[in-house]
Amino acid sequence: MVLEATVITIDNSEYSRNGDFPRTRFEAQIDAVEFIFQAKRNSNPENTVGLILSAGSNPRVLSTFTSEFGKILSGLHDTHIEGSIHLGTAIQIAALTLKHRQNKVQHQRIVVFVCSPIQDDRQELMKLAKKLKKNNIAVDIINFGEIEHNTAIVEEFIETVNNSQEESSHLLNIQPGPRLLYEHIAGSRIILEEGAAGGSGFDGDSAGGDNGFMDFGVDPSVDPELAMALRLSMEEEQQRQERLRQQQEQQEQQQQQQESQGQGQEQEQENKS
């Protein structure tokens, strides 16, 4: 099966408090994220998944690429419902996250949850869609909750992202009803067409820096606030991962010391006897 790196963006805006999807739109997304994660891992055990919040003061990375759902769940537990969705910025951060994936052989995909009215400029979103297409990044959009407001623009976005030779990007429009959100996703092309993946790399993959921002139309000299938000989001997640790594190393060292002390005490008792 296809080897893929996937970034999921969830909508944690104030609209996600709405209870038209059990239990709320936000909690429905959490269940759906777990389902998608497991589907990706079942498709290929070397697949990895990252997670991004798309609302609040600025979208931010909750988890870089991982094969452990516990890390995704840990990020979700730190989530607050706040503000409005910043769809374009969230997708840009997701694309930059994909650019920094460790395994460049992995195909690239962004799965976007949208449950609040999209306020982004239509032309800017279409420019972003063209850049994603150019860089071989597939996009799946799960549109629910505010379908009447959002459907036209997300349909155009997916049409723009899709390659004319292969429709690897998908749109799923979901009306409220008795079925759970993840049940709709389970029967959709997002899951059933696991073989249809995005491209395997950026044109001229680089190590990062401001060139990475320019790939997606973010010129630090023109829009320094957005560039700074993107950079800070990535840096915060890198720092969090580094802290977790250090904590894990300390725990391992403490465990080794305890085991060494226990072995020493056992040796002393044997010598006395």
Q: Is the pTM of this model over 0.75?
A: no
| Residue 83 forms part of a structural domain | yes
**What does the pLDDT read at residue 125?**
98
Structure tokens at 143: 């549109």
**What does the pLDDT read at residue 248?**
77
Q: Are 47 and 103 in contact (CB under 8 A)?
A: no
Expressed as residue numbers, the domain containing 237 is 221-255
CA distance 180 to 23: 9
- Note the pLDDT tens digit of each residue in 169-208: 999 999 999 899 999 999 899 987 554 444 444 333 333 4
Q: Residue 240, preceding bond cis, omega within 30 degrees? A: no
**What does the pLDDT read at residue 239?**
64
CA distance 217 to 200: 21
User: How many residues in the chain?
Assistant: 273
Please provide residue 146's backbone torsions phi and psi, each rounded to the nearest 5 degrees: -130, 50
SS3 185: helix
| Residue 263 forms part of a structural domain | no
| Residue 240 forms part of a structural domain | yes
Residues 112 and 227 in one domain: no
CA distance 207 to 163: 26
Residues 48 and 115 in one domain: yes
| Residue 271 forms part of a structural domain | no
Please, what is the average pLDDT of the chain?
84
Confidence at 234, pLDDT banded by 50, 70, 90: low
Reference 153, options 113, 126, 128; nearest CA is 126
Residues 136 and 241 in one domain: no
CA distance 213 to 223: 10
Residues 125 and 233 in one domain: no
Does residue 165 surpass a pLDDT of 50? yes
Residues 167 and 240 in one domain: no
Of 9-13, 104-108, 134-138, 228-232, least confident by mean pLDDT is: 228-232
Confidence at 258, pLDDT banded by 50, 70, 90: confident
Residues 106 and 234 in one domain: no
Residues 227 and 114 in one domain: no
Q: How far is CA 155 from CA 120, 147, 158, 225, in A?
A: 14, 11, 5, 29
Residues 9 and 125 in one domain: yes
- Note the pLDDT tens digit of each residue in 80-110: 999 999 999 999 999 999 999 999 999 999 9
Q: Are 218 and 42 in contact (CB under 8 A)?
A: no
